[in-house]
Structure 1
Protein backbone atom coordinates (compact mmCIF):
# COMPACT_ATOMS: atom_id res chain seq x y z
CA UNK A 1 0.00 0.00 0.00
CA UNK A 2 1.48 3.33 -1.02
CA UNK A 3 1.48 6.31 1.35
CA UNK A 4 -0.42 8.40 -1.19
CA UNK A 5 -3.43 6.17 -0.67
CA UNK A 6 -3.53 7.04 3.04
CA UNK A 7 -3.48 10.79 2.53
CA UNK A 8 -6.86 12.52 2.50
CA UNK A 9 -8.09 13.62 -0.87
CA UNK A 10 -7.68 17.31 -1.53
CA UNK A 11 -10.66 18.94 -3.12
CA UNK A 12 -11.08 22.25 -4.84
CA UNK A 13 -12.33 25.18 -2.80
CA UNK A 14 -15.79 24.18 -1.59
CA UNK A 15 -18.50 26.72 -2.19
CA UNK A 16 -19.62 28.42 0.96
CA UNK A 17 -23.34 28.30 1.48
CA UNK A 18 -24.83 31.34 3.16
CA UNK A 19 -26.95 30.16 6.06
CA UNK A 20 -30.21 31.87 6.76
CA UNK A 21 -30.49 33.30 10.26
CA UNK A 22 -32.33 31.11 12.73
CA UNK A 23 -35.80 32.05 13.89
CA UNK A 24 -34.40 32.96 17.30
CA UNK A 25 -31.87 35.28 15.63
CA UNK A 26 -34.63 36.83 13.50
CA UNK A 27 -36.82 37.24 16.60
CA UNK A 28 -33.94 38.89 18.47
CA UNK A 29 -33.44 41.32 15.57
CA UNK A 30 -37.15 42.22 15.54
CA UNK A 31 -37.22 42.69 19.31
CA UNK A 32 -34.10 44.87 19.14
CA UNK A 33 -35.71 47.38 16.77
CA UNK A 34 -36.49 50.76 18.25
CA UNK A 35 -40.14 50.29 17.29
CA UNK A 36 -40.23 46.78 18.77
CA UNK A 37 -42.61 44.11 17.53
CA UNK A 38 -46.24 43.16 18.14
CA UNK A 39 -47.68 39.67 18.42
CA UNK A 40 -49.55 40.27 15.14
CA UNK A 41 -46.27 41.12 13.38
CA UNK A 42 -44.67 37.95 14.72
CA UNK A 43 -47.66 35.93 13.53
CA UNK A 44 -47.36 37.37 10.03
CA UNK A 45 -43.55 37.08 9.87
CA UNK A 46 -43.20 33.51 11.12
CA UNK A 47 -46.68 32.05 10.57
CA UNK A 48 -47.02 31.43 14.31
CA UNK A 49 -50.13 31.26 16.47
CA UNK A 50 -50.34 33.94 19.22
CA UNK A 51 -49.39 31.50 21.97
CA UNK A 52 -46.30 30.42 20.02
CA UNK A 53 -45.20 34.04 19.59
CA UNK A 54 -45.60 34.69 23.32
CA UNK A 55 -43.66 31.51 24.12
CA UNK A 56 -40.80 32.63 21.86
CA UNK A 57 -40.66 35.98 23.67
CA UNK A 58 -40.63 34.09 26.96
CA UNK A 59 -37.68 32.02 25.69
CA UNK A 60 -35.78 35.27 25.05
CA UNK A 61 -36.43 36.25 28.67
CA UNK A 62 -35.23 32.85 29.88
CA UNK A 63 -32.06 33.39 27.83
CA UNK A 64 -31.32 36.40 30.05
CA UNK A 65 -32.59 39.25 27.92
CA UNK A 66 -34.83 41.91 29.42
CA UNK A 67 -37.96 42.22 27.26
CA UNK A 68 -40.18 45.21 27.95
CA UNK A 69 -43.88 45.25 27.07
CA UNK A 70 -45.61 48.52 26.25
CA UNK A 71 -49.37 48.79 25.68
CA UNK A 72 -50.27 50.95 22.67
CA UNK A 73 -53.32 51.44 20.48
CA UNK A 74 -51.92 48.70 18.18
CA UNK A 75 -51.72 46.29 21.09
CA UNK A 76 -48.76 45.20 23.16
CA UNK A 77 -45.36 46.08 21.73
CA UNK A 78 -42.39 44.02 22.88
CA UNK A 79 -38.77 45.14 22.71
CA UNK A 80 -35.45 44.20 24.25
CA UNK A 81 -34.27 46.85 26.69
CA UNK A 82 -30.80 47.97 25.55
CA UNK A 83 -27.94 47.51 27.95
CA UNK A 84 -29.81 45.14 30.24
CA UNK A 85 -29.32 41.46 29.72
CA UNK A 86 -28.41 41.48 26.02
CA UNK A 87 -25.38 39.55 24.99
Structure 2
Protein backbone atom coordinates (compact mmCIF):
# COMPACT_ATOMS: atom_id res chain seq x y z
CA UNK A 1 0.00 0.00 0.00
CA UNK A 2 1.39 3.38 -1.02
CA UNK A 3 0.41 6.55 0.77
CA UNK A 4 0.84 9.93 -0.82
CA UNK A 5 2.71 12.58 1.10
CA UNK A 6 0.79 15.83 1.55
CA UNK A 7 2.56 18.86 0.07
CA UNK A 8 4.51 20.86 2.64
CA UNK A 9 4.88 24.61 2.92
CA UNK A 10 8.41 24.37 1.52
CA UNK A 11 6.96 22.57 -1.52
CA UNK A 12 4.68 25.57 -2.00
CA UNK A 13 7.65 27.93 -1.69
CA UNK A 14 9.53 25.97 -4.35
CA UNK A 15 6.48 26.12 -6.65
CA UNK A 16 6.25 29.90 -6.22
CA UNK A 17 9.97 30.30 -6.90
CA UNK A 18 9.63 28.32 -10.13
CA UNK A 19 7.13 30.81 -11.60
CA UNK A 20 8.37 32.99 -14.47
CA UNK A 21 8.07 36.06 -12.24
CA UNK A 22 9.39 34.33 -9.12
CA UNK A 23 8.02 35.51 -5.77
CA UNK A 24 8.53 38.43 -3.42
CA UNK A 25 9.10 38.02 0.29
CA UNK A 26 5.56 39.29 0.93
CA UNK A 27 4.10 36.67 -1.45
CA UNK A 28 6.08 33.92 0.26
CA UNK A 29 5.04 35.11 3.73
CA UNK A 30 1.38 35.24 2.65
CA UNK A 31 1.57 31.74 1.15
CA UNK A 32 3.21 30.12 4.18
CA UNK A 33 2.08 32.16 7.16
CA UNK A 34 5.71 32.34 8.30
CA UNK A 35 7.38 35.47 9.62
CA UNK A 36 9.75 37.26 7.20
CA UNK A 37 12.91 36.10 9.01
CA UNK A 38 11.68 32.49 8.91
CA UNK A 39 10.95 32.80 5.20
CA UNK A 40 14.42 34.19 4.49
CA UNK A 41 15.92 31.33 6.51
CA UNK A 42 13.94 28.86 4.37
CA UNK A 43 15.40 30.48 1.23
CA UNK A 44 18.89 30.08 2.70
CA UNK A 45 18.14 26.45 3.48
CA UNK A 46 17.00 25.84 -0.09
CA UNK A 47 20.25 27.40 -1.36
CA UNK A 48 22.25 25.09 0.91
CA UNK A 49 20.34 22.12 -0.53
CA UNK A 50 21.49 23.14 -4.02
CA UNK A 51 18.55 25.15 -5.36
CA UNK A 52 19.95 27.96 -7.53
CA UNK A 53 17.95 30.96 -6.23
CA UNK A 54 18.53 34.32 -7.84
CA UNK A 55 17.41 37.71 -6.57
CA UNK A 56 16.23 40.64 -8.71
CA UNK A 57 14.07 43.76 -8.50
CA UNK A 58 10.47 43.51 -9.71
CA UNK A 59 8.60 46.82 -9.61
CA UNK A 60 11.07 48.10 -7.03
CA UNK A 61 10.61 45.08 -4.74
CA UNK A 62 13.11 42.25 -4.32
CA UNK A 63 11.89 39.02 -5.88
CA UNK A 64 13.41 35.55 -5.71
CA UNK A 65 13.40 32.87 -8.38
CA UNK A 66 14.82 29.40 -8.84
CA UNK A 67 16.93 29.62 -11.96
CA UNK A 68 17.73 26.83 -14.36
CA UNK A 69 21.14 25.30 -13.94
CA UNK A 70 23.27 25.62 -17.06
CA UNK A 71 25.07 22.59 -18.39
| Superposition TM-score, scaled by structure 2 size | 0.83
Matched, 1:28 2:39: no
What is the alpha-carbon distance in structure 2 between the residues aligned to residue 57 and residue 44 of structure 1?
15
Partner residue, 1:55: 41
- 1:4-83 alignment to 2 at 5 Å? 18-83=4-69
Where does structure 1 lack aligned partners over 5 or more consecutive residues? 1-13
Q: Which has the larger radius of gyration?
A: 1
